[in-house]
Each structure stands twice: as C-alpha cells, then as structure tokens.
Structure 1
Amino acid sequence: MNILEVENLNISNKEKTKNFLQNISFVLRRGETLGIVGESGSGKTLTGLSLTQLLDKDIFSLTANHILFNNNNIYEYDEKNLQSIRGNRISMIFQEPMLSLNPVQTVRTQIHEVIKLHITKDINLINELTKSILIRTGLNDFEKISNSYPHMLSGGQRQRVMIAMSIVCNPDILIADEPTTALDVTLQAQILDLLKMLKNENNMSLILISHDLDLVRNYADNILILNKGENIEYGTCDEIFNHPKHRYTKELISSRPKRIVQKQIFKKNLLKIKNLDCKFLIKNSLFRNKRKYFTALQDICMHLNEGETIGIVGESGSGKTTLALSILQLLNYNGDIFLNNTNLKNLNSYELRKSRKDFQIVFQDPYSSLSPRLSVKEILSEGIKSFEQNISDYKINKICESLMEEVGLDKTMLYRYPHQFSGGQRQRIAIARALSMKPKLIILDEPTSALDVLVQKNILELLVNLQQKYLISYCFISHDLKVIRSISHRIYVLKESKIVEFNDTDNIFSNPKTEYTKSLIKSSYF
C-alpha cells in the first residue's frame, strides 16, 4: 500500500527565474525505506522539506500535480491542516542536532512541547511518554538526559534526542536528513540500527537522505538519485547498484574511495613521538593532590617517515585532534616530539616560530577555516609575508598563481573571497595555504568529512599527487575508514586516549587484532 505519492514536484525562487527542483516524482510504501542520494545542492533536503511545505513562502515557490499522503492531497492543505501533520503523522530529523535543538531549553521541556501539541496535556501521561521514548531510543539514564541542555550531551546523545522527539507521536513517515553525517562510524551504525528497529516496530516508512552510498545501500529498499534538482534515476537498491543506467549514477558509484597509495619502503624518519601524555585540568584546587585532570592522551608512541601517510582513526573523544594540536605545539604535554631529530619541546619561542613552516594543518571545515574578510591571494600570502617580510609583490603574485595551479584552481580566482567558492574549492584553497610554507609535514584533520563523494575523491587524488611530487608526509585524521584505507600507508587506532592497535593498512583491514578495530571495520560496511 502506498503511503506517499509525489508527482511532478517543482520548486523555484519566488520570481520563477531559477529552478531548484524539477519534475520530481516517487512513491513510498508503508514500512519501506526510500533513500534519496546526491551531492550538495542537488535538492535532497528541499525534497524532504517540501513534503510538509516547511519552505519559506517568501523565498520559494512550490508546485506539484499532487502530494498524496494516505490518499489525501496535502499539497492543497492550508497552514492549519499542515500543522496537524507536521511532527505528528510526518516527522523529520534534521541534519545538525546542535542547531535544531533549542539551546536554552532542557531535553524534557522540548519533548513535552511536542507531546502537548499533538497528543495530550495531561502532565502525568506526558512524563510517562517522555521517559518511555528516551529509554526506547537507548538513553537509559533518563533523569540525567531529560534535565540536560543540548550542549551538555555528546553528538550521539543529541541525535538520539532528535529521534525521540520525532517518533514520540508514532508518525507514519519519518524523514531522516543526513542523520549520521557528524557522527563516528560506530555511532552511525547504532543510530541507523535504531531507526531500522523503530521502523519495524511501528511499521513506519522512512525517507533516508544521504550522500553516503554505502550507508543507503545497507538500509534502503528503493533509491532516488538527484543531481542539480533533477530526478536522474529511480529504482530498487539492486537495480541502482548492479545495473545503473545513467552516467551520473555510474560516476557516483565509482567515486567511492579506492586504494590510491602503493606499498613502499621509506628510508628517512621525519616525525617521532615518544611517551606522549596530555591532560586537561577539570577541577582546580589550592592543593595539588585535590586537583582533577582529564587524560586526553596516554603513553602515545608513533613515527612517520618522509613521504609517508599515517592514518589516525578513532571515535570522538579518543584523542585524535589533541594529538594533532600537540604535534603543532599548541598544547602543553609530557613526553617528546621530534621533527627531523629536533625535540620541539626544547625550542625557544623564536626557534619554534621559525620551525613552524615545516609543519602545517588543514582543518575539517573549509567554511570556517578561511577568513571571510581576506581574498584568496591575501590568505595564501599571509604566511609567506610573515617569514619573508621584504618579498616583492611580483614574487608574491607568482607564488600564489603557482599554488592555485598546484591545487587545480584558476589563477583568476585569486581576487575572489571564500564565500564565492564551493566546499571542494575552499578545501583546495586550504591545502594551497598549507603548501605555501613548503612544509615537510601536513596534518589533515578530517579534511574530507564535509565534502561529497565526488569532491572527496578529487581531494584525495590531489593530496597523493602533491605527496609524490614534493615528498610531503601526511598525518591523516579521520573517522571514515574508507578514506583512511584509500590514502594511508600505515594506521594507528586510538581508543580512550590510547593506541590500541597499529599496523600497515593492508594488515589492519585483513587481520585486525582487537575487538574495537573489528567493530570499526564492521561499522564502515566493508
């Protein structure tokens, strides 16, 4: 039985000069999961929002032959009737729980609001339903969670709260918009298994919006492929993956990360870390023995050779970024970090500043790591000028043009600002900025997690080409094991501030030693 039928859905701007979605049609059956796949800007989220007309009518114009929900054309509903469906019969989990939860209200208050609006105003029943739904979504410490504010919870807990709010009314359709993008692989598997369990228990239909093809393949019955607002291909999971018809679908499937580095023998050691410990003070006291510390890194020993890439994997809070910041000398630590046989801890401030051009970092989010007030030329030349104050403008121009060429961007883009670029282009600019110092080591902190699969593939290939050309060493931090496998020669697995396993990439994946590594690999759909 069809629970939802969408025919010829179109979305444009109010002036009808630009189309965002064109002639989108699909069917959703009761108890079925539909995966909507495409890169950023393809119209995935707009499709989800348009079903209950959550789009701003002052900006968007929506037309459709019909949007049939339980054989009722909700496209013709007025605002009052739509409100009776939203969050009740058709519910939505938004992409970023930190932004979609109210920061000034407790979890209890926010769930109460949904129940009062759609189910009952009886406070005893409201409390009972709140406790029941939080426990059902795996949040067993009910008292603590319900009295917490969103910032007091982890990413996985926030996402579970969002799921609890969206299913408390037992909806017929749940729209999950990138529900696991910001989560680690183990948490991703937990959240998706939870959604699958709740779907089966309630005979609920699920619309799963994602750019992760492997994720959709494991959970969807049918798949809708979108590109630039158009329906490229629509069919069963088997048809899409085993018999794709459209060139774009084939391109998406083939863009999943493949092994792009070869096994080789490295001769010269570049980075050596011995017995690294890092602690953060969480409770101060006049008496030293009363102070409390959080141990972020414990007895870390590792090495990196010239021209080699090591992958650092682990879930949130395992110490990956703390390790990166320690290498960069941005945190206090105990132990020794040697770069080119020089102990960085023993350098004075002048010597350390001078050595900083040898190690650079590319951050996770290309949107926030580039200054919006500086042009690309100013961003690329900032580091160069701080080390060579008498450099001529002519030479600066030549260096910047060369850097743009290296990362596959046109030199005419030097005078543009970051907001004028796509996510992939911004990340290329961030890589060019790191290259401007001609470093021996680049730390890459989740550099592809905010990017689509097609853009991700291009960035990884760029990094490997630059490594081969300049013999750069990479310390690649990620929770995406498919990406780590693609680009790393060796892998270190971190859990709860310790290295639990390390080996070359092939051995880690073919013969993992610890249960934790096995669970990480299993959660990544290998």
Structure 2
Amino acid sequence: MTQPVLEIDDIRVTFDTADGDVNAVRGVSMHVMPGETVAVVGESGSGKSQIMMAAMGLLAGNGAATGAVRYRGTDLLTLPARKLNDLRGAKITMIFQEPMTSLDPLYRIGEQLAEPLRVHGGLSVKAAMARALELLELVQIPNPEAKLRAYPHEMSGGQRQRVMIAMALANDPDLLIADEPTTALDVTIQAEILQLLADLQARLGMSILFITHDLTIVEAFADRVYVMRQGLLEEEGTAQAIFGNPQTDYTKMLLAAEPDGVKLPVAADAPVLLQGDDVRVTFGKAAGWFSKDTTLRAVDGISLSLRKGQTIGVVGESGSGKSTLGRALLQLLPAEGRVVYQGEQIGGLDRAGMRRYRDQLQMVFQDPYGSLSPRMTVGEIVAEGLSVHEPELSRAERDARVMQALDDVGLEPSFRNRFPHEFSGGQRQRVAIARAVILRPDVIVLDEPTSALDRSVQKQVIDLLRRIQVEYGLSYIFISHDLAVVRALSDYVMVMKEGVVVEEGPTAQIFGAPQMEYTRALMRAAFNLKSLLLEKAG
C-alpha cells in the first residue's frame, strides 16, 4: 500500500493566553497521498492554518501541539530543529497567507529568492540569481528583471504573493502547503497561478495541501476536502461528494454563502467629504548620466469625489494602482495633484500637518498582520488611536470604547487581552476594522478588507460595514479585486488598469452594462471563475 506523504494523527493545538487555554485544534486527523491535492476549508478561526503551523514547527511561543505529524513516516513534531530545517524549504515548503510578513523589507526580491536556492540547492550566487529570474517569469511577474531589484513594499499585494509562490517552488518540493495562496490575487491571476501549480504538480509529482476559504477554487482544484469547524473535523470526502452531496448543515451553509444585497446611491446633493483632482503617484527615478529611467506612474491623473454616506468601489487587476490611489488620497505616500478634505487642501501636507485629520481619515490595510504590532494586545492596538486623538478619556472610558468597537466587528470583548498571533487571518482583519471604527471617522479607505475572509464571514463583515456606515454616517473607498463584494457594498465603481481609470459609474451600470472590454473581461472572470479554472485545468 502506498505510504502517505503527510499523515496527521489526532493533532491538538493549544495556546496559553491571559484568559486561559485556547484549544485551537481538538484532535484532527487527515492525510495527503503522493501527487494528491487536498483542501482544508472552514470559517475563519476554525484551526485549519494552526494545524499546518504546528506541522512546520512554526507555532507562536505560547502554542503547543500534541499528536503526530508524519512526513513519509518521520514525525515532524519530535524531529530535532536542525533536521526539521533540512526538510523545510527543500522537501516541504509553505506559502503563507500574508506575504508582507514573510518577506524581509530590508532585502531585495532577488536576494530573498536566491537564499533558499543557495542554502538548500547549493547554487552559486550567480546561478541562484539566474534561477530566481526564471521563477519570477514562471509565476508571471511583469518586468521580472526589474522586480529582482525591487523591495517588497514596491510591489502590489498580488505581486508579493506570487513572489512567495516562486520562493516555495524554488527547490521543487515534495509537499507544498499553500495557506490561502490566492487571497491577494484577482480572479484572472488566480486561474493562472492555479494552472501553474497544477502544471508543476504534474511535472514534479508534488503533493499539495491547500488551505483556503474560497470554495470555488476547491471545487475546481482539489481531489479531496476536509471541512473544519471550531477546531474539529466536520466532514471529509472527495471534492465531488462534498460539493455534490454535503452531509452536514455547516458544509451546506458554507456552500450557500455568497455576498448579496445592494447599496442604494446617496443623494446627488450629499456633501462632498473627500475630493481628488488629477492625482498622480510616481515611483523610481528618471534617467541620469549613469542610470536608466526606472520611473513607474502607478497612479496617472485620477480624479474622484466621495460624498457623505457613499461607498466608492475601486476594482482592477493586481498592480493596477488601486491601493496606491487609496494611500495617496490619505497622504500616506508622496503624490501630485489636489486632494481636499471638507474644503481644506491636504495634498502635500507632511506627517505633522496631517495629524489633525488622521482621526477622521482612517485606513484598513490589506495585510492585517503586517499592520498590527505583535508586541501589543488587541486592546492596546484598538485603543491606540484614542490615546493620540482623545487623550482626555479615562482608562475606564477607553476600555469601554474598545469593548464596544470589538463588539461592533463581532469579536468577544475578552479578546482584548490577546495578541495578534493568537487570531486567524479573518479575526485579525476584524481587529483592524475595529481600530479604524473606534475613532468614528468620516472616511475609511478599506484596502481588500475581506480578502482574508471566507464567504460566510464576508457576509457578516459586509453587513457590519453597512450597519456602521448608517449608524455613524461613514463614507468608504472600498478597494477590492472581489467583484461580488464590491457589487454588494458599493453604490459607485471605478475600474482601474495600469494606473488610470478606464471606466466608472453607478454600480448597477458598471455591473449591468459595462462599456469597456477590460471591464467586461473582469466581470466574466469574476463570475465564471469555476468555468475558467476548469477550462485551464483542461
């Protein structure tokens, strides 16, 4: 009988917290056979990622695992650190959910790709850099030669995720553990990446353990599926059986979950809160005596007007400039053009000049783990803005506001004593939303706020954002590659491509009768992803 590549036997993961032990995984068993693709699905906080972190020896300091995790018969949980390191990065690799926290901000992309090739593959510096270039081409990074010299912050979220995939594939692993590897990618790139993984799997005989909340991907990509809930195994079976005849109510709920509803447009005479005119952001340097022109116009002359109570959705493929536009409007990076908030020119203001506006202009970032301090508790993170902008509040008043903010985003108030690493990716994103909402701002720029969330939790967050928008009179700029979420939450949509707006208008118009072929292509890809994946899978 063929031996499993990975066999997980009665694994239990527990975290020691100020509120007592948290049992994240409670006796789960699963296995992966050679050349097989196995998906582990479940809502945020179900424990699916913690199983893999335990298997790789990457649990946080207050975490402990029992049971057995056997790689081709060798128990990884009892393996000495040196021998485990020999396997990690060579035979077993992992793509993490949040690429910005996995890439070193001080080193160029080429150097980081070359490191595992040198350590595990024994390549020279020159050979490793040549292979790094091949890997960037393999995962379809645009202008790969330039990206070798780039730093992580100079790339989009989707591009950083593709770098992580390239790094994981560098040494042709035996087992690839992919934790939400397509979270930051738009649907067209999702299909390309999944096709890439399928091609490599066929060529190398590689096994894939796929952790995801995206059930559309699972149906098209996985051979077998494990469904988890609250640290327990809820259901398992072939992908065909799980999707064709689910046995539990929980699995049926996951399959049925989909963002719905529409947002009514605001009144035409609603006051304009934030306005941008001819906003431009340029990266790189112009050509000099001894240097090439490396300039990139990430945002190229965009104008918009955000009214009170309005939600403007900004969509486009990875690298289109969506996130850069959001940061430019809030003066989080140098930009040209005119930016006005409630009649006051804020474009060009430095950090000190912007401080008086920060409580009213908030941002929720794409990568919650990278924007939450690992040294602060959730309570301290959420309360930090109050300490800066409302210092007159007593400690008791601040604590009450924190508990209310956590309750607003569907988290237990007792969670305020925990640290970010003790939460799932989706829970961390809700902490980030609570941090923004607690100040009762006028405007929140939401940069992919639901990309890390499963569909059922997405629906909860959409309902949450709708409710607090009405309750507190908020206006949103909602940046996302997930068009289903944009359609449910926005009343106006801007479609970006290569730094410019190619089409814009009311949500019903953009989704019902798009005028540009680029927009129509996005719509086809977004709402026919399953067909696209199956077509690419052959």
Normalising by the smaller structure, the TM-score range is 0.7 to 0.9
Q: What is the rounded CA distance, in whole Å, between the counterparts of 2:411 and 2:497 in structure 1?
A: 42
How far the C-alpha of 1:487 sits from its partner, in A, is: 0.4
Match of 1:473 among 462, 472, 475: 475
Shift of 1:499: 0.6
Q: Distance in 2 between matches of 1:81 and 1:491?
A: 52
Shift of 1:300: 1.8
Which among 434, 437, 441 is matched to residue 439 of structure 2?
Answer: 434
- Kindly state the Cα deviation for residue 239 of structure 1 after the two structures are TM-superposed: 3.0
Specify the alignment match of 1:62 in structure 2: 66
Deviations 1:279-323 (A, max 9, x none): 447448999xx9986534323233334322110123454333443
Counterpart position of 1:304: 306
Q: Shift in Å at residue 32 of structure 1?
A: 3.1
In the other structure, the counterpart of 1:175 is 177
Alignment of structure 1 residues 312-327 onto 2, 5 Å: 312-327=314-329
Q: Does 1:110 align with 2:99?
A: no
Q: Distance in 2 between matches of 1:358 and 1:344?
A: 15
Give the superposition deviation at 1:475: 1.8
Correspondent of 1:39 among 37, 40, 43: 43
Which amino acid in the other structure matches residue 345 of structure 2? L
Change (3 A) 1:60 1:215: same
Residue type matched to 2:28 in 1?
I
Asked if structure 2 preserves the Cα contact closer than 8 Å seen for 1:40 and 1:452, the reply is yes
Q: Deviations over 1:367-390 (max 9, x none)?
A: 56567387479546446637xx7x
Q: How does 1:72-151 map to 2 (within 5 A)?
A: 72=73, 87-97=89-99, 99-100=101-102, 105=111, 107-116=113-122, 136-138=138-140
Which whole-Å CA distance do the structure 2 matches of 1:170 and 1:334 have between them? Answer: 45
Q: Is this contact kept in 2: 1:307–1:473, CA < 8 A? A: yes
TM-score normalized by the length of structure 2: 0.74
Q: How is 1:106-505 mapped onto 2 (pairs within 5 angstroms)?
A: 107-116=113-122, 136-138=138-140, 159-160=161-162, 162-167=164-169, 169-262=171-264, 266-271=268-273, 273=275, 275-280=277-282, 282-283=284-285, 294-328=296-330, 334-337=336-339, 342=343, 344=345, 359-364=361-366, 372=376, 375=380, 378-379=383-384, 381-382=386-387, 385=390, 400=401, 404=405, 407=408, 422-423=427-428, 426-435=431-440, 439=442, 441-505=443-507
Instruction: Pick closer, same or farther for the CA change 1:284–1:455 going to 2, 3 Å.
Output: same
Paired letter, 2:480: S
Q: 1:474 to 1:219 in 2, by over 3 A?
A: same
The alignment partner of 2:120 has SS state of helix
Call closer, same or farther: CA 1:48–1:384 in 2, change over 3 Å.
Answer: closer
State the distance in 1 between where 2:360 and 2:128 align.
Answer: 59
* In structure 2, C-alpha distance between the alignment counterparts of 1:375 and 1:140, rounded to whole Å: 40
The residue type equivalent to 1:113 in the other structure is V
**1:311–1:484 contact (8 Å) kept in structure 2:** yes
Does structure 2 retain, via aligned residues, the 8 Å contact 1:271–1:337? no
CA 1:294–1:395 in structure 2 vs 1: closer, same or farther (change >3 Å)? same
> 1-side partners of 2:354 and 2:124: how far apart?
64
Cα distance per residue 1:174-213 (max 9 Å; x no partner) = 2222222344444433322211221233343321111223
Deviations 1:414-452 (A, max 9, x none): 9868759852552352243231x5x3x333333333445
Q: Is the 8 A contact 1:491 1:508 kept in 2?
A: yes
Deviations 1:56-109 (A, max 9, x none): 999634324x8474xx56679965887776555544334445554676545334
Letter in 2 for 1:301: S
Using the TM superposition, name which of 366-375 and 478-487 deviates more.
Answer: 366-375
Letter of the 1:8 partner, please give it.
D
Instruction: From the superposition, tell whether residues 62 and 258 of structure 1 become closer, same or farther in structure 2 (CA, over 3 Å).
Output: same
Q: Equivalents in 1 of 2:121, 2:506: separation in Å?
A: 52
Instruction: State the shift of 1:171 in Å.
Output: 4.1
Q: Which amino acid aligns with 1:33?
A: T
Task: Show the counterpart of 1:11.
Answer: 12
Q: Please tell me whether Structure 1 or Structure 2 has the larger radius of gyration of its CA atoms.
A: 1
**2:309 aligns to what SS in structure 1?**
coil
Distance 1:59 1:347 in 2: 45
- Cα pair distance change 1:517/1:193, threshold 3 Å: farther
> Unpaired segments of 5 or more residues in structure 2?
529-538
- The 2-side partners of 1:36 and 1:93 are apart by 14
CA contact (8 A) 1:278 1:297 kept: yes
Residues 112/396 of structure 1: CA separation in 2 closer, same or farther (3 Å cut): closer
CA contact (8 A) 1:11 1:22 kept: yes
> What does residue 534 of structure 2 align with?
none
The question of whether the paired residues in 1 share the 8 Å contact of 2:335 and 2:348 is answered with: no
- Residue type of the alignment partner of 2:232: E
The amino acid across from 2:468 in the alignment is: L
Cα deviation for residue 463 of structure 1 reads 1.7
Which residue identity does 1:473 align to in structure 2?
Answer: S
Write the distance in 2 (CA, Å) between the matches of 1:26 and 1:207.
Answer: 11
Percent of paired sites with the same residue = 33
Q: Distance in 2 between matches of 1:329 and 1:519?
A: 32
Q: Is the 8 A contact 1:423 1:451 kept in 2?
A: no
8 A Cα contact 1:424 1:459, kept in partner = no
Letter in 2 for 1:385: E
1:376–1:328 distance in 2 versus 1, CA, 3 Å = closer
Q: Is the 8 A contact 1:375 1:418 kept in 2?
A: no
Query: Is the deviation greater in 144-153 or in 445-454?
Result: 144-153
TM-aligned CA distance change 1:426 to 1:140, over 3 Å: closer
**Whole-angstrom CA distance in 1 between matches of 2:399 and 2:26:** 44
Is the partner of 1:426 in helix, strand or coil? helix
Cα displacement (A) at 1:230: 1.3
> Shift of the alpha carbon at 1:360?
4.2
Moved more, 133-142 or 466-475: 133-142
- Aligned equivalents of 1:172 and 1:434: distance in 2? 48
State whether residues 93 and 175 of structure 1, in contact with CA within 8 Å, keep that contact through their aligned partners in structure 2: yes
> Are the structure 2 counterparts of residues 74 and 490 from structure 1 closer, same or farther at C-alpha, using a change threshold of 3 Å?
same
Q: Distance in 2 between matches of 1:97 and 1:508?
A: 31
